[in-house]
Copies of this chain bind each other. A is one copy, B any other.
Amino acid sequence: MLKVIAEDFIHPEAVEIVLPLYRELVACTRSEPLCIAYDLFVDQKDPGHFIFIEQWPDRAALDTHCATEHFRRLVPLIDAHQRSPGTFLLMDPAAL
């Protein structure tokens, strides 16, 4: 199981522009057969700081997601409004 945190930093004045793009990205991604979870959150202290928390069966499923038409079309449209580069973090469950 692969957990992902992907963070975007959007110019505050562009938040209303990116929201419908995020809406379409979330809807399309959740319809991917390998998607386990794909949820989008906003930093309570920064309305332009968006955080995806994702779950995929494995890295291959994430790579498939990143190659989809909706990802390749929508992510550049969102990134055009970034104020700084996005980050991502790939994680495994802790071996407790």
Query: What is the interface of chain A, defined by CB distance below 8 A to chain B?
Result: 3, 5, 19, 22-23, 26, 39-45, 50-51, 53, 89-96
Contacts and interface: CB of A to CB of B under 8 A. Distances in A.
- The complex is assembled from copies of this chain, and their number is 2
Contact of A50 (B22, B39, B50, B94): B94
Given A26-B96, A96-B26, A96-B40, A51 B19 contact: no
Contacts of A45: 90
> 9 smallest A-B Cβ distances: which pairs?
A41-B91, A40-B94, A23-B96, A44-B90, A42-B94, A3-B41, A42-B92, A51-B91, A41-B93
Contacts of A91: 41-44, 51
Contacts of A22: 94, 96
A94 B40 CA distance: 6
Contacts of A44: 90-92
A88 to B, nearest CB: 11
